[in-house]
Every structure is written in C-alpha cells, then in structure tokens.
Structure 1
Amino acid sequence: MVASSAKHDVFQAIADPTRRKLLKLLSHDEMPVTAISSHFPTSRTAVSKHLRILADAGLVKERKVGRETRYKLEPEPLNELKDWLQFFELYWQNKLTALKLFVESDVEDPSQK
C-alpha cells in the first residue's frame, strides 16, 4: 500500500468551519500566526493547531521570517475537491433544468379551476 505524503486529506481539513475561515483569510495575504489569531475568538494555540492540520493536508505553507512563522494558502490541493464536486454537478444541473421546465410550463394545475 502506498502511503500518502499528507497526514490529513483535504476533505478532513476543510470539514471544520474555523479552518475554512482560515483558508479564506490566507487567500488574501501571507500572515503570521499572531495576526491570524486576531481574527478568531480562540487562543493562538488553537489557531496554530488548525493551521497544522491545514499544513498537513498541503493547504497552507509556512515559512520562517526572523522569529515568526508566516502562513499562506496553497490552493492546488483544492482541485481534488473541485474534481469530486464536478462529478455531481451533472446531477444538480439535471435537477435544475427539470425544475426550470416545470416552473416555466404552461400546464394549468387542475386544482386551480
């Protein structure tokens, strides 16, 4: 069996709403953990744990700048999510098309007479 290089998969990593908010925050700019923590009601330690999970899934990269560690979004692993969701898009599109046809149809409802 081939071992994955990531300790967490992308699906596990984004399952938590705090981690999803972290990804959005880091999509704008590289930030140190102190600046990131100011956006959350939890401790810096808790934010660091969330960042570790995101890093283990390959969704964020960290680099040392002096004494601080800066984090930035690495969006490439999100392609796995996009590909998975794209498979189901066909089903959603079919349902939306059927709904549109139903709503736009000129067939009168017999109960309205």
Structure 2
Amino acid sequence: MTVEYVLWLPLFVAILMLVVDVSLLFLTHANMYDVARDTSRRTALGEFANFSAAETYAETHALVGGHTYTADVDYTGIGEEVYTEVSVPMADVGFSRIFAVVFNGTLRARVTQRVEPS
C-alpha cells in the first residue's frame, strides 16, 4: 500500500499545482479585464485629465497577486474610441511559476470603449 502511495503522490501533487495555477491565471485575467473595462469607461466619460492619470489608475487598481501591472491607455483614432490594455508578465502569474516555463510571454487584457459625447 505504501509503495503505491509513494508512486501516485507526485502525480496528484502535480495535478493539484496545475489546478491552482490555472485558477490563479483565470482570476488574474478576470481582474485585469475588469480594471481595463473600468478604466476605459472612465476615460471615455472624461473623468481623467490625461492618459497618464488613467494608466496610473489602472495600474493601482489591478490588485490580484500583488504583481507589477503595466497599463496603456490611448485613442484608436477610429470613430473616437479609447482603448485600455493591462498586462503582466506570465512569470508573475501562478503559484508554481509553471506558466513562465511553458508560456514565456505576457498576459494581456484589452478593452475598447467609444467616447461618450459631451
């Protein structure tokens, strides 16, 4: 009985770590999308004096995991639309950092919002 336990334990631990990492990935992405949507909406309504203030707002409100988020807010130039993109390095997401090894990139959430008429 002990031999089977020792043989199967690493597999179960690996599956558990994978589930935790995927859950954190989805939680982080959902938070980034919510912050990007809120920032785009506030920018479209004219609540920020400039794009720098909007980017600071987005970076400080993306709070899941205490990661270093990067925000980019700008006009698309098509039909008066503003876009917000919030990103975080994939190496910062997750518990075991397996995504940093498998997916060497950046997790992004981008939202486009039409500017409200004055």
Name the TM tier (shorter chain).
under 0.3
Greater Rg by CA: 1
- Name the one with the larger strand percent: 2
TM-score of the two chains, using structure 1 as the length reference: 0.27
TM-score of the two chains, using structure 2 as the length reference: 0.26
